[in-house]
Structure 1
Amino acid sequence: MRWMALIGMGLAITSPASSAGKSDMVAAAVADSAHRSGDNVKLDASRKPGEVLKFLGLKPGMRVSDPFGSNLYWAEIITPIIGPKGRVSIWQPKQFYDQKAYDKFTAFRATHPNAWMRVSPFEAPDLPASTYDFMLINLDYHDVYWESAKYGVVKMDPDAWLKTIYAAMKPGAVVGVIDHVASPGDPRVSVEKLHRIDPAVVRADFKRAGFKLEAESNFLRNPADDHSLLVFNPAIRGKTDRFIMKFRKPR
Protein backbone atom coordinates (compact mmCIF):
# COMPACT_ATOMS: atom_id res chain seq x y z
CA MET A 1 0.00 0.00 0.00
CA ARG A 2 1.37 3.42 -0.94
CA TRP A 3 0.53 5.05 2.37
CA MET A 4 1.98 2.17 4.38
CA ALA A 5 5.17 2.56 2.34
CA LEU A 6 5.30 6.21 3.34
CA ILE A 7 5.27 5.19 7.00
CA GLY A 8 8.38 3.13 6.28
CA MET A 9 10.00 6.26 4.88
CA GLY A 10 9.52 7.96 8.23
CA LEU A 11 6.73 10.30 7.12
CA ALA A 12 3.91 11.02 9.55
CA ILE A 13 1.19 9.57 7.33
CA THR A 14 -1.03 6.57 8.01
CA SER A 15 -3.83 6.99 5.48
CA PRO A 16 -5.34 9.69 3.27
CA ALA A 17 -7.71 10.53 6.11
CA SER A 18 -5.12 10.53 8.89
CA SER A 19 -5.01 13.15 11.61
CA ALA A 20 -1.56 14.22 10.50
CA GLY A 21 -3.28 16.95 8.51
CA LYS A 22 -3.55 17.91 4.90
CA SER A 23 -0.20 19.72 4.87
CA ASP A 24 1.61 16.49 5.71
CA MET A 25 -0.49 14.62 3.16
CA VAL A 26 0.42 17.06 0.40
CA ALA A 27 4.10 16.94 1.32
CA ALA A 28 4.04 13.14 1.35
CA ALA A 29 2.36 12.94 -2.05
CA VAL A 30 4.94 15.29 -3.57
CA ALA A 31 7.81 13.39 -1.96
CA ASP A 32 6.56 10.01 -3.15
CA SER A 33 8.84 9.91 -6.19
CA ALA A 34 8.55 6.12 -6.43
CA HIS A 35 4.98 6.59 -7.64
CA ARG A 36 5.64 9.58 -9.89
CA SER A 37 7.37 9.83 -13.25
CA GLY A 38 10.93 11.09 -13.21
CA ASP A 39 10.17 13.75 -15.80
CA ASN A 40 7.37 15.14 -13.66
CA VAL A 41 9.46 15.15 -10.49
CA LYS A 42 12.01 17.32 -12.29
CA LEU A 43 9.34 20.01 -12.71
CA ASP A 44 8.78 20.38 -8.96
CA ALA A 45 11.50 22.99 -8.45
CA SER A 46 9.73 25.51 -10.66
CA ARG A 47 6.12 24.45 -10.04
CA LYS A 48 6.29 24.16 -6.22
CA PRO A 49 3.33 21.75 -6.11
CA GLY A 50 3.23 21.45 -2.33
CA GLU A 51 2.90 25.19 -1.85
CA VAL A 52 0.36 25.43 -4.69
CA LEU A 53 -1.99 22.77 -3.33
CA LYS A 54 -1.78 24.07 0.24
CA PHE A 55 -2.49 27.60 -0.97
CA LEU A 56 -5.51 26.49 -2.97
CA GLY A 57 -6.82 24.20 -0.23
CA LEU A 58 -7.02 20.74 -1.78
CA LYS A 59 -8.72 18.29 0.62
CA PRO A 60 -9.46 14.56 0.79
CA GLY A 61 -12.69 13.49 -0.86
CA MET A 62 -12.82 16.37 -3.35
CA ARG A 63 -13.99 16.02 -6.94
CA VAL A 64 -11.15 17.57 -8.95
CA SER A 65 -10.97 18.75 -12.55
CA ASP A 66 -7.46 18.69 -14.01
CA PRO A 67 -7.65 20.46 -17.38
CA PHE A 68 -4.81 19.92 -19.86
CA GLY A 69 -3.45 17.25 -17.52
CA SER A 70 -2.50 14.37 -19.82
CA ASN A 71 1.13 14.47 -18.67
CA LEU A 72 -0.28 13.34 -15.27
CA TYR A 73 1.85 15.85 -13.35
CA TRP A 74 -0.95 16.97 -11.06
CA ALA A 75 -2.89 13.70 -11.14
CA GLU A 76 0.09 11.79 -9.72
CA ILE A 77 0.13 14.11 -6.71
CA ILE A 78 -3.59 14.70 -6.29
CA THR A 79 -4.87 11.10 -6.41
CA PRO A 80 -3.36 9.99 -3.07
CA ILE A 81 -4.42 13.23 -1.37
CA ILE A 82 -8.09 13.05 -2.34
CA GLY A 83 -8.18 9.33 -1.57
CA PRO A 84 -10.71 6.68 -2.61
CA LYS A 85 -13.69 8.93 -1.89
CA GLY A 86 -12.31 11.63 -4.17
CA ARG A 87 -11.96 11.72 -7.92
CA VAL A 88 -9.72 13.53 -10.38
CA SER A 89 -10.98 13.97 -13.93
CA ILE A 90 -8.38 15.01 -16.47
CA TRP A 91 -9.84 17.00 -19.33
CA GLN A 92 -7.63 16.99 -22.40
CA PRO A 93 -8.39 18.99 -25.56
CA LYS A 94 -8.84 16.66 -28.53
CA GLN A 95 -6.29 18.71 -30.46
CA PHE A 96 -3.57 17.52 -28.04
CA TYR A 97 -4.76 13.97 -27.39
CA ASP A 98 -3.06 11.07 -29.14
CA GLN A 99 -2.27 7.38 -28.77
CA LYS A 100 0.65 8.14 -26.45
CA ALA A 101 -1.62 10.10 -24.09
CA TYR A 102 -4.21 7.31 -24.19
CA ASP A 103 -1.67 4.61 -23.39
CA LYS A 104 -0.10 6.66 -20.61
CA PHE A 105 -3.42 7.31 -18.92
CA THR A 106 -4.60 3.71 -19.33
CA ALA A 107 -1.50 2.49 -17.49
CA PHE A 108 -1.94 5.14 -14.80
CA ARG A 109 -5.59 4.33 -14.17
CA ALA A 110 -4.76 0.65 -13.66
CA THR A 111 -3.25 1.64 -10.31
CA HIS A 112 -5.27 4.83 -9.69
CA PRO A 113 -8.98 3.94 -9.92
CA ASN A 114 -9.98 7.41 -8.69
CA ALA A 115 -8.63 8.97 -11.92
CA TRP A 116 -10.64 9.53 -15.09
CA MET A 117 -10.09 11.10 -18.51
CA ARG A 118 -12.43 13.24 -20.59
CA VAL A 119 -11.59 14.39 -24.13
CA SER A 120 -13.35 17.00 -26.26
CA PRO A 121 -12.41 19.90 -28.56
CA PHE A 122 -10.51 22.72 -26.87
CA GLU A 123 -13.32 25.15 -27.71
CA ALA A 124 -15.95 22.87 -26.13
CA PRO A 125 -14.76 21.57 -22.75
CA ASP A 126 -16.59 18.38 -21.73
CA LEU A 127 -17.18 19.30 -18.08
CA PRO A 128 -20.50 18.23 -16.54
CA ALA A 129 -22.43 20.92 -14.66
CA SER A 130 -22.20 21.22 -10.86
CA THR A 131 -19.61 18.45 -10.60
CA TYR A 132 -16.31 19.73 -9.25
CA ASP A 133 -15.03 21.07 -5.91
CA PHE A 134 -11.59 22.04 -7.19
CA MET A 135 -9.88 22.90 -10.47
CA LEU A 136 -6.32 23.92 -11.29
CA ILE A 137 -5.58 25.55 -14.65
CA ASN A 138 -1.80 25.43 -14.73
CA LEU A 139 0.03 27.44 -17.42
CA ASP A 140 -2.79 26.96 -19.93
CA TYR A 141 -5.50 29.58 -19.46
CA HIS A 142 -3.67 31.93 -21.82
CA ASP A 143 -4.29 29.49 -24.68
CA VAL A 144 -8.00 30.38 -24.62
CA TYR A 145 -6.76 33.54 -26.43
CA TRP A 146 -4.68 31.51 -28.90
CA GLU A 147 -5.55 30.16 -32.31
CA SER A 148 -3.50 27.86 -34.49
CA ALA A 149 -4.29 26.39 -37.89
CA LYS A 150 -1.39 23.98 -37.41
CA TYR A 151 -2.90 22.47 -34.26
CA GLY A 152 -6.54 22.96 -35.16
CA VAL A 153 -7.15 25.49 -32.39
CA VAL A 154 -9.92 27.85 -33.46
CA LYS A 155 -10.48 31.38 -32.21
CA MET A 156 -12.36 31.16 -28.91
CA ASP A 157 -14.47 33.50 -26.84
CA PRO A 158 -12.92 33.48 -23.33
CA ASP A 159 -16.24 34.54 -21.78
CA ALA A 160 -18.09 31.61 -23.35
CA TRP A 161 -15.29 29.21 -22.37
CA LEU A 162 -15.38 30.39 -18.76
CA LYS A 163 -19.16 30.09 -18.70
CA THR A 164 -18.66 26.33 -19.09
CA ILE A 165 -16.05 26.30 -16.33
CA TYR A 166 -18.34 28.24 -13.99
CA ALA A 167 -21.23 25.86 -14.62
CA ALA A 168 -19.02 22.83 -13.96
CA MET A 169 -18.02 23.99 -10.48
CA LYS A 170 -20.16 23.39 -7.41
CA PRO A 171 -21.17 26.39 -5.27
CA GLY A 172 -18.19 27.22 -3.06
CA ALA A 173 -15.72 25.44 -5.37
CA VAL A 174 -12.18 26.71 -5.95
CA VAL A 175 -10.48 27.37 -9.29
CA GLY A 176 -6.76 28.01 -9.19
CA VAL A 177 -5.05 29.74 -12.11
CA ILE A 178 -1.30 29.79 -12.68
CA ASP A 179 0.16 31.43 -15.76
CA HIS A 180 3.15 33.19 -17.28
CA VAL A 181 3.13 36.96 -16.68
CA ALA A 182 2.83 39.28 -19.68
CA SER A 183 3.14 43.04 -19.78
CA PRO A 184 -0.15 44.94 -20.19
CA GLY A 185 -1.56 44.93 -23.70
CA ASP A 186 -3.78 43.01 -26.09
CA PRO A 187 -3.90 39.44 -24.72
CA ARG A 188 -4.27 37.90 -28.17
CA VAL A 189 -1.00 39.55 -29.20
CA SER A 190 0.94 38.55 -26.08
CA VAL A 191 -0.37 34.98 -26.29
CA GLU A 192 0.36 34.62 -29.99
CA LYS A 193 3.90 35.98 -29.68
CA LEU A 194 4.95 34.90 -26.21
CA HIS A 195 2.37 32.50 -24.66
CA ARG A 196 2.00 34.94 -21.76
CA ILE A 197 -0.99 36.78 -20.32
CA ASP A 198 -1.44 39.92 -18.26
CA PRO A 199 -2.71 38.99 -14.76
CA ALA A 200 -5.21 41.88 -14.98
CA VAL A 201 -6.86 40.17 -17.96
CA VAL A 202 -7.33 36.97 -15.96
CA ARG A 203 -8.82 38.82 -12.98
CA ALA A 204 -11.26 40.65 -15.26
CA ASP A 205 -12.24 37.49 -17.16
CA PHE A 206 -13.03 35.50 -14.03
CA LYS A 207 -14.88 38.40 -12.46
CA ARG A 208 -17.16 38.66 -15.51
CA ALA A 209 -17.75 34.91 -15.28
CA GLY A 210 -19.04 35.31 -11.71
CA PHE A 211 -16.03 34.07 -9.72
CA LYS A 212 -14.69 35.91 -6.67
CA LEU A 213 -10.94 36.44 -6.35
CA GLU A 214 -10.16 35.09 -2.89
CA ALA A 215 -6.35 35.24 -2.78
CA GLU A 216 -3.16 35.80 -4.73
CA SER A 217 0.43 34.97 -3.85
CA ASN A 218 3.92 35.82 -5.08
CA PHE A 219 5.67 32.51 -4.36
CA LEU A 220 5.87 31.66 -8.10
CA ARG A 221 7.09 35.12 -9.17
CA ASN A 222 10.51 35.64 -10.74
CA PRO A 223 11.46 39.33 -11.04
CA ALA A 224 14.47 38.37 -13.19
CA ASP A 225 12.21 37.16 -16.01
CA ASP A 226 12.17 39.31 -19.14
CA HIS A 227 8.48 39.54 -20.06
CA SER A 228 9.40 40.13 -23.70
CA LEU A 229 10.73 36.57 -24.08
CA LEU A 230 8.76 33.63 -25.44
CA VAL A 231 8.16 31.22 -22.56
CA PHE A 232 9.87 28.45 -24.57
CA ASN A 233 13.07 30.48 -24.95
CA PRO A 234 15.90 28.38 -23.42
CA ALA A 235 17.01 31.40 -21.41
CA ILE A 236 13.81 31.39 -19.35
CA ARG A 237 11.96 28.13 -20.00
CA GLY A 238 10.89 26.59 -16.70
CA LYS A 239 11.81 29.79 -14.84
CA THR A 240 9.20 32.27 -16.03
CA ASP A 241 7.58 34.87 -13.81
CA ARG A 242 4.25 33.31 -12.81
CA PHE A 243 1.18 34.46 -10.94
CA ILE A 244 -1.19 32.28 -8.94
CA MET A 245 -4.78 33.26 -8.20
CA LYS A 246 -7.41 31.49 -6.11
CA PHE A 247 -10.97 32.06 -7.33
CA ARG A 248 -14.12 30.79 -5.68
CA LYS A 249 -17.60 30.25 -7.04
CA PRO A 250 -20.06 31.94 -4.65
CA ARG A 251 -22.37 29.67 -2.65
Structure 2
Amino acid sequence: MFRRPLSFTVAVAALAASFPLSAAPEDYAGIIADEARLDANRQLDENRRPAEVLDFAGFNEGQVVADYLAGAGYFSEMIATIVGPEGRVYPMNPVGFHNAEAWNAIGAMHENISPLIAANTHLQLAPGSVDAILTHLTFHDLYWESERFEYARLDVPSVLQNWHMALKPGGTVVVVDHYGPEGDTREVVERIHRIDPATVIGAMQRAGFELVDRSDALANPEDDLDTSVFDESVRGKTSRFMLKFRKM
Protein backbone atom coordinates (compact mmCIF):
# COMPACT_ATOMS: atom_id res chain seq x y z
CA MET A 1 0.00 0.00 0.00
CA PHE A 2 0.99 3.60 -0.52
CA ARG A 3 3.02 5.01 2.37
CA ARG A 4 3.88 8.69 2.24
CA PRO A 5 7.15 9.44 4.10
CA LEU A 6 6.47 11.15 7.42
CA SER A 7 9.05 13.88 6.75
CA PHE A 8 7.23 14.90 3.55
CA THR A 9 3.81 14.78 5.22
CA VAL A 10 4.97 17.20 7.90
CA ALA A 11 6.65 19.50 5.38
CA VAL A 12 3.68 19.86 3.06
CA ALA A 13 1.23 20.22 5.94
CA ALA A 14 3.15 23.29 7.04
CA LEU A 15 3.00 24.67 3.49
CA ALA A 16 -0.66 23.97 2.84
CA ALA A 17 -1.95 27.25 4.20
CA SER A 18 0.40 29.27 2.01
CA PHE A 19 0.38 27.28 -1.24
CA PRO A 20 -3.00 25.92 -2.41
CA LEU A 21 -3.20 22.70 -4.38
CA SER A 22 -3.10 22.98 -8.15
CA ALA A 23 -6.44 23.81 -9.75
CA ALA A 24 -8.31 21.38 -11.96
CA PRO A 25 -6.46 20.84 -15.26
CA GLU A 26 -7.17 23.32 -18.01
CA ASP A 27 -8.26 22.06 -21.39
CA TYR A 28 -5.07 20.79 -23.02
CA ALA A 29 -7.09 18.33 -25.09
CA GLY A 30 -6.13 19.88 -28.40
CA ILE A 31 -2.40 19.77 -27.68
CA ILE A 32 -2.57 16.22 -26.36
CA ALA A 33 -4.72 14.98 -29.27
CA ASP A 34 -2.47 16.56 -31.91
CA GLU A 35 -1.84 13.81 -34.47
CA ALA A 36 1.52 15.38 -35.28
CA ARG A 37 2.87 14.07 -31.98
CA LEU A 38 4.96 10.91 -32.18
CA ASP A 39 2.76 7.82 -31.97
CA ALA A 40 5.09 6.28 -29.40
CA ASN A 41 4.64 9.33 -27.19
CA ARG A 42 0.86 9.43 -27.56
CA GLN A 43 0.65 5.83 -26.41
CA LEU A 44 1.98 6.95 -23.00
CA ASP A 45 -0.79 9.48 -22.38
CA GLU A 46 -3.07 7.32 -20.25
CA ASN A 47 -0.39 6.65 -17.66
CA ARG A 48 1.48 9.96 -17.79
CA ARG A 49 -1.64 12.16 -17.55
CA PRO A 50 -0.11 15.12 -19.36
CA ALA A 51 -3.03 17.50 -18.76
CA GLU A 52 -2.42 17.46 -15.01
CA VAL A 53 1.33 17.91 -15.43
CA LEU A 54 1.07 20.75 -17.94
CA ASP A 55 -1.56 22.53 -15.85
CA PHE A 56 0.61 22.28 -12.75
CA ALA A 57 3.71 23.44 -14.63
CA GLY A 58 1.93 26.49 -16.03
CA PHE A 59 4.21 27.11 -19.01
CA ASN A 60 3.28 30.19 -21.04
CA GLU A 61 3.57 31.46 -24.60
CA GLY A 62 6.99 32.96 -25.35
CA GLN A 63 8.83 31.16 -22.56
CA VAL A 64 12.13 29.31 -22.90
CA VAL A 65 11.90 25.90 -21.23
CA ALA A 66 14.57 23.26 -20.63
CA ASP A 67 13.36 19.63 -20.50
CA TYR A 68 15.99 17.79 -18.43
CA LEU A 69 16.61 14.18 -19.56
CA ALA A 70 13.84 14.58 -22.10
CA GLY A 71 14.09 11.06 -23.53
CA ALA A 72 12.12 10.85 -26.79
CA GLY A 73 10.53 14.24 -26.22
CA TYR A 74 7.24 13.22 -24.64
CA PHE A 75 6.75 16.62 -23.00
CA SER A 76 9.12 18.61 -25.21
CA GLU A 77 6.85 18.51 -28.25
CA MET A 78 3.78 19.56 -26.26
CA ILE A 79 5.67 22.36 -24.50
CA ALA A 80 6.89 23.56 -27.91
CA THR A 81 3.27 24.05 -28.93
CA ILE A 82 2.46 25.90 -25.70
CA VAL A 83 5.39 28.35 -25.86
CA GLY A 84 4.82 28.95 -29.56
CA PRO A 85 7.16 30.40 -32.20
CA GLU A 86 8.37 33.16 -29.87
CA GLY A 87 9.41 30.60 -27.27
CA ARG A 88 11.97 27.82 -27.30
CA VAL A 89 12.44 24.35 -25.82
CA TYR A 90 15.82 22.85 -24.95
CA PRO A 91 15.51 19.07 -24.53
CA MET A 92 18.59 17.83 -22.64
CA ASN A 93 19.83 14.28 -23.19
CA PRO A 94 23.08 12.37 -22.61
CA VAL A 95 24.81 11.26 -25.82
CA GLY A 96 23.94 7.59 -25.41
CA PHE A 97 20.27 8.35 -24.75
CA HIS A 98 19.68 10.52 -27.82
CA ASN A 99 17.19 8.95 -30.25
CA ALA A 100 18.11 10.71 -33.50
CA GLU A 101 15.14 9.31 -35.44
CA ALA A 102 12.62 10.55 -32.87
CA TRP A 103 14.22 13.97 -32.59
CA ASN A 104 14.49 14.43 -36.35
CA ALA A 105 10.74 13.79 -36.59
CA ILE A 106 9.97 16.19 -33.74
CA GLY A 107 12.31 18.84 -35.11
CA ALA A 108 10.56 18.72 -38.47
CA MET A 109 7.32 19.73 -36.75
CA HIS A 110 8.73 22.21 -34.23
CA GLU A 111 11.36 24.72 -35.33
CA ASN A 112 11.49 26.10 -31.78
CA ILE A 113 13.09 22.94 -30.37
CA SER A 114 16.87 22.85 -29.98
CA PRO A 115 18.17 19.59 -28.44
CA LEU A 116 21.19 19.82 -26.15
CA ILE A 117 23.26 16.63 -26.30
CA ALA A 118 26.36 15.94 -24.22
CA ALA A 119 27.82 13.52 -21.71
CA ASN A 120 25.55 13.48 -18.66
CA THR A 121 28.27 15.26 -16.66
CA HIS A 122 28.33 18.11 -19.20
CA LEU A 123 24.63 18.87 -19.66
CA GLN A 124 24.90 22.57 -18.87
CA LEU A 125 22.64 25.54 -19.49
CA ALA A 126 23.96 29.05 -20.13
CA PRO A 127 23.44 31.65 -17.38
CA GLY A 128 20.10 33.44 -17.56
CA SER A 129 19.00 31.42 -20.58
CA VAL A 130 15.69 29.83 -19.50
CA ASP A 131 12.40 30.73 -17.83
CA ALA A 132 11.65 27.23 -16.57
CA ILE A 133 13.08 23.74 -16.22
CA LEU A 134 11.05 20.52 -16.26
CA THR A 135 12.35 17.25 -14.90
CA HIS A 136 9.71 14.58 -15.47
CA LEU A 137 10.47 11.26 -13.75
CA THR A 138 14.18 12.09 -13.95
CA PHE A 139 15.18 14.06 -10.84
CA HIS A 140 16.06 10.76 -9.15
CA ASP A 141 18.56 10.13 -11.97
CA LEU A 142 20.74 12.86 -10.48
CA TYR A 143 21.61 10.20 -7.89
CA TRP A 144 21.93 7.30 -10.33
CA GLU A 145 25.07 6.02 -12.04
CA SER A 146 25.62 3.18 -14.49
CA GLU A 147 28.76 1.86 -16.12
CA ARG A 148 26.63 -0.21 -18.47
CA PHE A 149 24.80 2.84 -19.81
CA GLU A 150 27.84 5.11 -19.61
CA TYR A 151 26.03 7.34 -17.15
CA ALA A 152 28.61 8.76 -14.77
CA ARG A 153 28.07 9.76 -11.15
CA LEU A 154 26.88 13.35 -10.87
CA ASP A 155 27.71 15.99 -8.32
CA VAL A 156 24.12 16.95 -7.47
CA PRO A 157 24.84 20.37 -5.90
CA SER A 158 26.80 21.37 -9.01
CA VAL A 159 23.93 20.38 -11.31
CA LEU A 160 21.42 22.33 -9.25
CA GLN A 161 23.76 25.31 -9.08
CA ASN A 162 23.80 25.35 -12.89
CA TRP A 163 20.00 25.27 -12.95
CA HIS A 164 19.88 28.20 -10.54
CA MET A 165 22.29 30.26 -12.64
CA ALA A 166 20.50 29.31 -15.86
CA LEU A 167 17.10 30.53 -14.71
CA LYS A 168 16.04 34.09 -15.25
CA PRO A 169 14.83 35.99 -12.15
CA GLY A 170 11.67 34.35 -10.84
CA GLY A 171 12.24 31.26 -12.99
CA THR A 172 10.78 27.94 -11.93
CA VAL A 173 11.76 24.27 -11.75
CA VAL A 174 8.98 21.69 -12.00
CA VAL A 175 9.77 18.26 -10.57
CA VAL A 176 7.56 15.23 -11.21
CA ASP A 177 8.86 11.94 -9.88
CA HIS A 178 7.99 8.57 -8.39
CA TYR A 179 7.28 8.56 -4.63
CA GLY A 180 10.04 6.69 -2.84
CA PRO A 181 10.80 5.65 0.74
CA GLU A 182 13.19 7.32 3.14
CA GLY A 183 16.72 5.96 3.27
CA ASP A 184 20.06 6.33 1.53
CA THR A 185 19.07 8.16 -1.65
CA ARG A 186 21.61 6.59 -3.98
CA GLU A 187 20.82 3.10 -2.70
CA VAL A 188 17.07 3.66 -3.12
CA VAL A 189 17.51 5.07 -6.63
CA GLU A 190 19.79 2.24 -7.71
CA ARG A 191 17.40 -0.38 -6.36
CA ILE A 192 13.96 0.92 -7.35
CA HIS A 193 14.40 4.25 -9.25
CA ARG A 194 12.28 6.25 -6.81
CA ILE A 195 13.01 9.18 -4.52
CA ASP A 196 11.72 10.58 -1.25
CA PRO A 197 10.18 14.00 -2.05
CA ALA A 198 11.74 15.35 1.15
CA THR A 199 15.13 14.69 -0.47
CA VAL A 200 14.12 16.73 -3.50
CA ILE A 201 12.88 19.61 -1.36
CA GLY A 202 16.02 19.66 0.75
CA ALA A 203 18.39 19.57 -2.22
CA MET A 204 16.52 22.32 -4.02
CA GLN A 205 16.31 24.57 -0.99
CA ARG A 206 20.04 24.22 -0.37
CA ALA A 207 20.59 25.25 -4.01
CA GLY A 208 18.69 28.51 -3.47
CA PHE A 209 15.15 27.57 -4.54
CA GLU A 210 11.91 28.00 -2.62
CA LEU A 211 9.03 25.55 -2.80
CA VAL A 212 5.99 27.44 -4.10
CA ASP A 213 3.50 24.70 -5.02
CA ARG A 214 2.93 20.98 -4.73
CA SER A 215 0.31 18.51 -5.87
CA ASP A 216 -0.72 14.91 -5.22
CA ALA A 217 -2.91 14.81 -8.34
CA LEU A 218 -0.84 11.86 -9.62
CA ALA A 219 -0.77 9.92 -6.35
CA ASN A 220 -1.81 6.26 -6.37
CA PRO A 221 -2.72 4.88 -2.92
CA GLU A 222 -2.31 1.31 -4.20
CA ASP A 223 1.36 1.76 -5.09
CA ASP A 224 3.99 -0.05 -3.04
CA LEU A 225 6.86 2.40 -2.60
CA ASP A 226 9.37 -0.45 -2.16
CA THR A 227 8.71 -1.85 -5.64
CA SER A 228 10.87 -0.93 -8.63
CA VAL A 229 9.17 1.38 -11.10
CA PHE A 230 10.09 -1.14 -13.82
CA ASP A 231 8.21 -3.98 -12.11
CA GLU A 232 5.27 -4.92 -14.33
CA SER A 233 2.90 -4.80 -11.35
CA VAL A 234 3.38 -1.03 -11.02
CA ARG A 235 4.98 0.14 -14.26
CA GLY A 236 3.09 3.17 -15.54
CA LYS A 237 0.94 3.21 -12.39
CA THR A 238 3.36 4.47 -9.75
CA SER A 239 2.38 7.12 -7.25
CA ARG A 240 3.96 10.40 -8.34
CA PHE A 241 4.40 13.78 -6.70
CA MET A 242 4.64 17.20 -8.34
CA LEU A 243 6.69 20.05 -6.88
CA LYS A 244 7.30 23.55 -8.17
CA PHE A 245 10.26 25.65 -7.06
CA ARG A 246 11.13 29.28 -7.73
CA LYS A 247 14.57 30.79 -7.99
CA MET A 248 15.21 32.97 -4.95
TM-score (normalised: structure 1): 0.85
Residue 105 of structure 1: aligned partner: 103
Question: Quick one: which of 217, 220, 230 aligns to 1:219?
Answer: 217
Identity of aligned residues (%): 39
RMSD: 1.4
Seen in structure 2, the aligned counterparts of structure 1 residues 194 and 70 have a Cα distance that, compared at 3 Å, is: closer
CA distance in 1, matches of 2:212, 2:187: 28
Question: Which structure has more RCO (C-alpha within 8 Å, separation ≥ 6)?
Answer: 2
1:68-87 aligned within 5 A: 68-87=69-88
1:52-201 aligned within 5 A: 52-97=53-98, 101-201=99-199
Instruction: Supply the AA of the counterpart residue of 1:147.
Output: E
Instruction: Supply the AA of the counterpart residue of 1:49.
Output: P
> Are 1:119 and 1:126, in contact at CA under 8 Å, matched by a contact in 2?
no
CA distance in 1, matches of 2:44, 2:152: 29
Give SS of 1:170's match.
strand
Instruction: Supply the AA of the counterpart residue of 2:129.
Output: T
Residue 30 of structure 2: aligned partner: 28
CA distance in 1, matches of 2:64, 2:123: 17
Q: Structure 2: which 5+ runs fail to align?
A: 1-24
CA distance in 2, matches of 1:82, 1:193: 37
Give SS of 1:222's match.
coil
Give SS of 1:115's match.
coil
Instruction: Supply the AA of the counterpart residue of 1:37.
Output: L
CA distance in 1, matches of 2:73, 2:144: 23
Q: Number of matched residues?
A: 224
CA shift at 1:65, angstroms? 0.5
Residue 229 of structure 2: aligned partner: 231
Give SS of 2:115's match.
strand
54-63 or 105-114: which moved more? 105-114
Give SS of 1:116's match.
coil
Deviation per residue, 1:133-170 (Å, 9 max, x gap): 11110001101111111112222221111111111111
Instruction: Supply the AA of the counterpart residue of 1:105.
Output: W
CA shift at 1:115, angstroms? 0.8
Q: Structure 1: which 5+ runs fail to align?
A: 1-21
CA shift at 1:176, angstroms? 0.4
Q: Which runs of 4+ in 1 moved over 4 A?
A: none
Residue 7 of structure 2: aligned partner: none
> Are 1:61 and 1:82, in contact at CA under 8 Å, matched by a contact in 2?
yes
CA distance in 1, matches of 2:92, 2:220: 29
> Are 1:125 and 1:164, in contact at CA under 8 Å, matched by a contact in 2?
no
CA distance in 2, matches of 1:41, 1:151: 26
Give SS of 2:93's match.
strand
> Are 2:36 and 2:109, in contact at CA under 8 Å, matched by a contact in 1?
no
> Are 1:29 and 1:78, in contact at CA under 8 Å, matched by a contact in 2?
no
